[in-house]
Amino acid sequence: MAFTLLRDAVLNRVERPRPRRVTGDLMGEPIKHHYVPQFYLKRFADAKGQLKVVERRPPCRKYVSNVKDVAAERLFYRLETAEGDSLQLEKTLSEIEGECREAISDLLASSFPPAVQVRETVGFFVALQWLRGRDQRDSFSDVFDKLARRAAKVVPEQEAVRPLEKMLGRPLTVTETQEAVDRIVRASVEQLKPTHNELVLSLLKMAPGLQRIACARVWQLIKFDKDCLLTSDSPVVTWVHSRNRGGLFSMGGFGMCDEIRIPLDMRTALVLAQEAPSGEVVLQGTDLHAKELNRSVASNAYLRVFHRADIDPLKDVELPPPFESRIVVDGFGGE
């Protein structure tokens, strides 16, 4: 199937998932769903598929694992239908990953800039990878939750109190009034929060639009002479120059950032820039470039950083505390 059909298929199947009831017998079904593809993780692993895992949150463990066991969750792309749970989305994403694997290989092996089809496919991979992980799902869920709580708090107190006072035939005490308001807030939050399906759909539907943004940027490859790059469970980095930070959005979004960065393997990184005077070229990476790329990718990790066990790309790299939400707007975020 052509890549454009696969791209459309993921959205069609998100809208109308084929029902497949998930029961106790799951033999042969894709249960462990990777939000970072295994083909991509293997580019940072040893010959046995082993990776060094560095956790970003306390107790910040370090250990070795296999690519099949990292950046994955059980039934992560499950969709709920009236007839049962559907696992078709995971299978569609696997098909798309096959197209993306070939396109990335072409990008690295062929002349640069890439051909239009390769550019579109890799651009879709970058967009999809930005959207599909645990970080974005938690961030959007958190924002919806905060918005729902704020919306619920504007309910006039009398709307919560009057029906109860009428039923009881007396005024409510201060404690009873607060309990009544709290119940309405909790109920409103549950009504306003997106369902599991809505959360998955709202993210994946953005992929074609973000693909267009990615493809329209100035593409540059940075190549290194040795294995020196790492990756993470959130490998697409939106980088903003210090002179452009601040204002309404504290973190650069996909369309607003100065650069979109993603390591493609241990020796190559792809940078999609808003502006680049040198144009679309292949650049020779230095140790300083590698350190900055590794710092930005590791800082962008949500839960874990990955690299080949026999190299130390985090040596002398200082990292900020891990972020709590991908979406941070000044003046918003606290309760």
Per-residue pLDDT reduced to its tens digit, 97-128:
999 999 999 999 999 999 999 999 999 999 99
* Residue 144 bridge partners (DSSP): none
Beta carbons within 8 Å of 333's beta carbon, 6+ residues apart = 146, 325
Kindly indicate the confidence band of residue 6, based on its pLDDT and cuts at 50, 70 and 90: low
| Nearest CA among 232, 248, 239 for reference residue 322 | 232
Distances (CA, A) of 91 to 17, 177, 273: 11, 51, 32
Across 18-43, average pLDDT = 77
Q: Which residue has the tokens 């709202």?
A: 202
**More confident: 249 or 289:** 289
What pLDDT was estimated at residue 3?
A: 54
Residue-range domain boundaries for the chain: 1-9+32-131+208-307
Does residue 332 carry a pLDDT above 60? no
* Residue 282 bridge partners (DSSP): 221
Kindly indicate the confidence band of residue 5, based on its pLDDT and cuts at 50, 70 and 90: low
What pLDDT was estimated at residue 249?
A: 40
Across 50-71, average pLDDT = 96
Q: Centre a 10 Å sphere on the Cβ of residue 264 and count the other Cβ atoms it contains.
A: 23
Q: Which residue has the tokens 């696992």?
A: 87
Mean pLDDT (the chain, rounded):
85
What pLDDT was estimated at residue 98?
A: 95
Q: State residue 280 phi and psi, 5-degree precision.
A: -90, 100
| Nearest CA among 58, 90, 60, 51 for reference residue 74 | 90
Q: Which of 176-180, 204-208, 277-281 has the lowest mean pLDDT?
A: 176-180
Does residue 26 carry a pLDDT above 60? no
Per-residue pLDDT reduced to its tens digit, 75-105:
999 988 777 788 888 989 999 999 999 999 9
What pLDDT was estimated at residue 184?
A: 73
| Nearest CA among 128, 182, 132 for reference residue 153 | 182
Q: Which of 64-68, 305-309, 315-319 has the lowest mean pLDDT?
A: 315-319
